[in-house]
A and B are shown apart, each in its own frame.
Chain A
């Protein structure tokens, strides 16, 4: 079945550092890819998405590019802030299938120190 693998955390960086969180996927179809963010004690918020190969999703300084050849969707940010501390989830959904269930990675906890 479909699956998502994220880089293991936790990840700790200093403010203004460059961030990369790796995400690779396995899917039989042509999935849409998502990054969600979860702040402590809250639900998930959609951070960005990409629906086809070579699409770049971006939001709040975060970017991720849908790479079909490497089955990857790595999350990047050029200069992180303390407020970016959260858990980040990579996910896929195959729009070609009726239920369009989301398959999540295990999450990566990010801590940014001032």
Chain B
């Protein structure tokens, strides 16, 4: 089945640690996105990539980093510089001709 997978589902981090969230898609989509969701709020764009080896900052990129070495993969690193990282993180992808984005199941990150 084609789709987007995110791992892990739950992640716990100590303050001062970097953590990397995985996002993989087998939909052959060129564009991929990372969003952050906080309780009772909409989604905010962290980073996006329209093509391999290229990515751009979204609205809340500070404290985050990404890479796009393969078309299928778009990992997100939450660095120690992110002051309030506890949130639900969603990855999405989009095909060339479609405006709709397809979402993964999400990773819930908690800082202890």
Q: Which residues of A contact B (CB under 8 A)?
A: 4, 32, 34, 36, 41-46, 49, 51, 89, 93, 95, 98-102, 104-107
Check B31 for interface membership: any CB of A closer than 8 A: yes
Given contacts A42-B106, A107-B42, contact A102 B101 (CB under 8 A): yes
Q: Is the CB of B48 within 8 A of A106?
A: no
Which residue of the partner chain A has the closest CB to B56? A99
- A102 to B92 CA separation, bound complex (whole angstroms): 10
Q: Which residues of B contact A (CB under 8 A)?
A: 4, 6, 31, 33, 40-43, 45, 48, 50, 56, 58, 90, 92, 94, 99-106, 108
Which A residues are in CB contact (< 8 Å) with B31? 99-100
**When A and B form their complex, which 8 residue pairs have the shortest distance between CB atoms, in order from nearest?**
A43-B103, A104-B42, A32-B99, A44-B103, A106-B42, A93-B99, A43-B105, A104-B43
Q: Is the CB of A42 within 8 A of B48?
A: no
List 12 contacting pairs A-B, 8 Å CB cutoff, sorted by A.
A4-B42, A34-B99, A34-B100, A41-B106, A41-B108, A43-B106, A44-B103, A49-B100, A51-B99, A100-B99, A104-B42, A107-B40
Which A residues are in CB contact (< 8 Å) with B99? 32, 34, 49, 51, 93, 95, 100
CB distance from B9 to the nearest CB of A (A): 9
Q: Is the CB of B56 within 8 A of A43?
A: no
Which B residues are in CB contact (< 8 Å) with A89? 42-43
Given contacts A49-B100, A89-B43, A95-B99, contact A44 B90 (CB under 8 A): yes
Which B residues are in CB contact (< 8 Å) with A106? 40-42
- A49 to B101 CA separation, bound complex (whole angstroms): 11
Q: Is the CB of A101 within 8 A of B41?
A: no
Q: Is the CB of B58 within 8 A of A45?
A: no
